[in-house]
Amino acid sequence: MMRSLFSGVAGLKTHQTKMDVIGNNIANVNTTAYKSSSIVFSDLMSQTTQNASGANAKTGTGGTNARQIGLGVKSGAINVNITGQGSAQSTGNPFDIMITGDNFFVVYDGMSNYFTRDGSFYVDGVGNLAMTSTGYNVMGWGVDPETMEIKQDTVQALRIMSPENMTYPPEATTLATVSGILDKYDVDVSSSAGKILNLNLYDSLGYQYTARMVVKQTDNDGEYSVEMTKLLDADGNEVDISGATDILGSNVNAEKSTPVVFNTTGYKWNGTTLQDVDGNDLFSLGDLVDSGALKARDAVVQIAGVDSTVQAALDKLADAYGYGGSTEGFLKLYKVTDNTTTPPTTKTVEQSLIDGDFQTVFGAGDFTADGYKAQGGILKFDTDTGLFNNIGGGKTLTMNLSTLENPAGSGRSNFENILVDFSTIQMFNNNGTSTVTATYGDKDSLGTGRMLGDMIGVSIQRDGRIYASYDNGMTKLLGQIATASFANASGLEKHGDNLYAATMNSGTFDNIGVDVTANGGYMSTGVLEMSNVDLSSEFTEMITTQRGFQANSRIITVSDTLLEELTNLKR
């Protein structure tokens, strides 16, 4: 009789424990990544009043089963549905991450690693990715500085917004491409100014410049000179390139007989003095010569009695010969001075001015230049197919900018040499319009160069790789979120705050972790995993638990009544 009383008490206790489990599940129905628990009962023990016996062949009697009276119930196990995937809740926060699969995030409290499915993260004050609720650092792998790839080594805190990650360093342009159609009937190509190509480029500090190239037609069919004439900074100021060696290829004679007509604009010569239409003296050729060399372009000279510059005088001279707006082209016109040499000896307008024999070589009136000397190369096309053949025997020219002095005056150039690829240019009829253009970078967008970039966003991929994007168009791999996988995830021990710790039965963590995709899982950003508690199941379990508790209470009541009857036998 006392046995039934104690069995009822054991039943009450175990059903109360089950109710505790159910209550905790329901309380955490909206807890991020909470995993529901369930309890399993087992009988407590049994009192054997008669052991089992076997059959007796001699007496011909059979065996008997043991007689056992149960003494109650106990909690056999409390299981966690840790592999049950919770539903996804969209948050729109890029640092909210949900794992689909059986893996766990690894977080660190400064002493130990813990594991969680709660992917509610944020970036703390020093740039570390951390748990929103506890501030524990999210662990992952860093980037190998040599290969710039993820190095799966001992996990470390992911400092994704360190000072060095907030910007992307600038880089000088090293490659460029000239492409498009060059139409020989394009008036720009056949003009004295030529077809202008602007190439935007960067130096190693991220400053932007524009290299101006000019393409001109020569006397030879299918051949065009290409040269670099100017280098402009971002404000349009001209950078001195006179000190560069072979700025684009080397000097080549571009054979084009160019009639140069004097006096069409009213200029005339009075000895070595240039006069305007009214006969007013402008300047003397001698003003352009100083110690046998052409003065600096910004040196002061007198033009019509007014302080001006050598450059202004040169512009007047070019204008007088019909080269207004194309002074550099005028200065590079040349005449053959000796046909007996190989190649023939030539003298340019510029050299003739330096030598002081301009009028002797070129004359004071009209003249026909034998060509112009281009600082660059000769583009050669197949006149039958219109396809590009070569320039200087190859497909490329080098823009030698590394020999330029730094515009800031440090003496060291911030430019890199740029390899310019002409292989895709074509010479076709395009109704007199050329579409040829110059762009930085090659066909694979390599060697473009860039300015300094500021971080404008962070994205996390399905495999946990973290990339930063910058306003100069670049992206950078910052690290990868590591995950932990356990042979028996149900063996993990809860530590509160949605954290778990490894136990002897769960398997150990090797401090390296695994890629989440290795087990077929993946990460989703902007969403969180919700609780996997099923309310319908919990309420059903609550009903059966309540009935079990009531039934056990009746056992105690009846047992008590029986004891009362027993004590009442003696009155």
pLDDT of residue 409: 52
pLDDT of residue 293: 61
Mean pLDDT of 346-370: 90
386-430 pLDDT, tens digit per residue, is: 999 999 899 999 999 988 865 555 555 789 999 999 999 999 999
pLDDT of residue 462: 96
pLDDT of residue 1: 60
Contact residues for 452 (Cβ-Cβ < 8 A; gap 6+): 167, 168, 169, 170, 206, 472
Average pLDDT, the chain: 90
518-559 pLDDT, tens digit per residue, is: 989 999 999 999 999 999 999 999 999 999 999 988 988 888
C-alpha–C-alpha distance, residues 331 and 352, integer Å: 9
Going by pLDDT thresholds of 50, 70 and 90, the confidence category of residue 115 is very high
Q: Which amino acid is at 214?
A: V
**Count of residues for the chain?**
571
Q: How far is CA 411 from the centre of its chain?
A: 33
Question: Any idea what the Cα angle at residue 374 is, between residues 371 and 380, rounded to 5°?
Answer: 85
Q: How far is CA 49 from the centre of its chain?
A: 79
Tokens 């640092």 -> residue: 95
C-alpha–C-alpha distance, residues 548 and 527, integer Å: 40
Among 496, 497, 501, which Cα is nearest to 484's? 501
Going by pLDDT thresholds of 50, 70 and 90, the confidence category of residue 129 is very high
C-alpha–C-alpha distance, residues 140 and 421, integer Å: 43
pLDDT of residue 405: 66
Among 54, 167, 155, 149, which Cα is nearest to 108's? 155
Number of Cβ within 10 Å of residue 239's Cβ equals 17
Going by pLDDT thresholds of 50, 70 and 90, the confidence category of residue 483 is very high
Q: Which amino acid is at 483?
A: T
Mean pLDDT of 21-32: 95
pLDDT of residue 291: 43
Q: Which residues pair with 201 in a beta bridge?
A: 209
pLDDT of residue 210: 96
Tell me the CA end-to-end span of the chain in Å, nearest whole number.
Answer: 21
294-344 pLDDT, tens digit per residue, is: 767 778 888 888 888 888 999 999 999 988 888 888 999 999 999 999 888
pLDDT exceeds cutoff 50 at 60:
yes
- The helix or strand, by DSSP H or E, that contains position 358, with its residue range, turns out to be helix 358-362
Going by pLDDT thresholds of 50, 70 and 90, the confidence category of residue 138 is very high
Q: Which tokens in the block code for residue 95?
A: 């640092």
